[in-house]
Amino acid sequence: MISFDLECENGHSFEGWFQDSCSFDRQQKDGLLSCPVCNNSAIYKLPTTFGIKKSGLSHKDSASLSQLNKKIQNTAKVLNEFLEKNFEDVGTDFTKEALNIHYGLKEPTNIRGVSTKEEEKVLAEEGIKFIKMPRLSDANIDKEQD
């Protein structure tokens, strides 16, 4: 079994247990996952730190891993702040907005939002380039740094 920290598009964080990573992907694709708070089915894996058995690590190795973890969390926080400051959140209208920009119906601007796999296929077929990134929430980044 594997545990993932998950978040819905409304920002509710929760934990999910799966047989393996493929099980999560399969259940998400089949629409079997939903937020326990709001029942939203747009679920994302959050970047998380991994556990390492401490008995096999020296104090120096453990301190190095702790420093690396803090650097990773800080980078995630900086990236999150950059995206929030420089990209308009269009939510579930991402595909519609991207198509409007692509075809000159709207001024080009940086946008961020969510899309389904079907919408992503449409964007790719239309030649629209986009980057998929996990959603980061300040609460989870701050929680990891504690």
pLDDT digits (tens, 9 = 90+) for 17-51: 888 878 888 898 888 999 888 988 888 887 665 55
pLDDT for res 54: 52
Rounded to the nearest 5 percent, the helix, strand and coil shares of the chain are 45, 15, 40
b (16+ CB within 10 A) / e for 68-105: eeeeebeebbeebeeeeeeeeebeeebbebbbebeeee
pLDDT for the residue 146: 47
- What pairs with residue 44 in β-bridges? 7
Asked if 135 and 7 count as a contact pair (C-beta separation under 8 A), the reply is yes
Q: Which residue has the higher pLDDT, 121 or 63?
A: 121
The whole-number pLDDT of residue 145 equals 47
| Domain spans, the chain | 1-46, 58-146
What pTM did the predictor assign? 0.50
Q: Residue 81: what pLDDT? A: 87
